Amino acid sequence: GQNIDQPTEMTATEGAIVQINCTYQTSGFNGLFWYQQHAGEAPTFLSYNVLDGLEEKGRFSSFLSRSKGYSYLLLKELQMKDSASYLCAVGDSNYQLIWGAGTKLIIKP
Amino acid sequence: ETGVTQTPRHLVMGMTNKKSLKCEQHLGHNAMYWYKQSAKKPLELMFVYSLEERVENNSVPSRFSPECPNSSHLFLHLHTLQPEDSALYLCASSQDLEGSSYNEQFFGPGTRLTVL
């Protein structure tokens, strides 16, 4: 079967760094996406990885290891507005996105 | 504003009602999607349309009926729903179906559906 695993909830402090992990088992691989979803709002695109390595975009970075079926999203210099759910999704052999349940990130002052 | 709009934003209906959800994208995309999002569960892909043709139907009950009259509009017709169908229904669009950073999915704000 196809499966995406990520922690249900994480807590971090404003100004700190947090790493959200995602492991996946899918039929085929056509890239891994991270989305951010604030409560009551639509998911919005954060990053896309298709090759191994680190992609950096401002305070956010995303890492992929295809051999390990593993990715992480790294958030630096955390701000209160970063409190949200972070969704990991993998494109399968049919290019359909398989989604994780999301990680709710709580930022404390 | 993501360029994808959905109406209504909230809907309460009885199990015998018939209602429709509407999605419109203003991005010139070729692919559109319906997702169901329940609390603490992964997004469930329901239907995929590419160039107005349905390409995916993930074993969705027949009480959900999609319609895509053109590449900008997508409807989800609902009838005789069950309380367990209460969820957030999200519409999304992408340039094409193939996965890449240029085919990220843009989501609408969703319709919060409650079935009594």
Interval B13-26: pLDDT, tens: 988 889 999 999 99
Lowest-pLDDT range of B40-49, B77-86, B106-115: B40-49
| Beta-carbon separation of A95 and B4 below 8 A | no
- Which residues lie across from A14 on neighbouring strands? none
Measured CB to CB, residues of chain B less than 8 Å from chain A are 2, 4, 40-45, 48, 56, 90, 97-101, 104-110
Instruction: Report chain B residues whose CB lies below 8 A from the CB of A95.
Output: 97-99
The yes-or-no verdict on residue A90 having pLDDT over 60 is yes
Q: Does the pLDDT at position A92 exceed 90?
A: no
CA nearest B105 in A: which residue? A45
pLDDT tens-place string over residues A59-69: 999 999 999 99
State the average pLDDT for chain B: 90
Q: Do B105 and A45 touch (CB under 8 A)?
A: yes
Q: What does the pLDDT read at residue B79?
A: 93
Which residues from chain B sit within 8 angstroms of residue A4, using beta carbons? 42
Q: Look at residue A55 in the predicted model and tell me its pLDDT.
A: 93
> Does the pLDDT of residue B53 top 70, yes or no?
yes
Of B90, B97, B100, the CB nearest to A31: B100
Q: How confident is the model at residue B96 (pLDDT cuts 50, 70, 90)?
A: confident
Q: Are A45 and B104 in contact (CB under 8 A)?
A: yes
Banded pLDDT at B52 (limits 50, 70, 90)? confident
Minimum distance, in Å, between the CA of residue A25 and any CA atom of chain B: 15
As a whole number of angstroms, the distance between CA B85 and CA B26 comes to: 28
- Please say if the pLDDT value at position A11 is more than 60: yes
Q: Which of A72-86, B50-64, B73-87 has the lowest mean pLDDT?
A: B50-64
Counting residues of chain B whose pLDDT is more than 70, the rounded percentage is 93
Whether residue A46 is predicted with pLDDT greater than 60 in this model: the reply is yes
The answer to whether the beta carbons of residues A24 and A39 sit under 8 Å apart is: no
pLDDT at A25: 94
Give the gap in angstroms from C-alpha A37 to the nearest C-alpha of chain B.
Answer: 10
Query: Residues A21-38: pLDDT tens digits?
Result: 999 999 889 899 999 999
> B25-39 burial, b for 16+ CB within 10 Å, e for fewer?
beeebbbbbbbbbee
Q: What is the pLDDT of residue A93?
A: 80
Asked if the Cβ–Cβ distance from B90 to A94 is below 8 Å, we say no
Neighbours of A81 (CB within 10 A): 8
Partners of B107 on chain A (C-beta within 8 Å) are 42-44
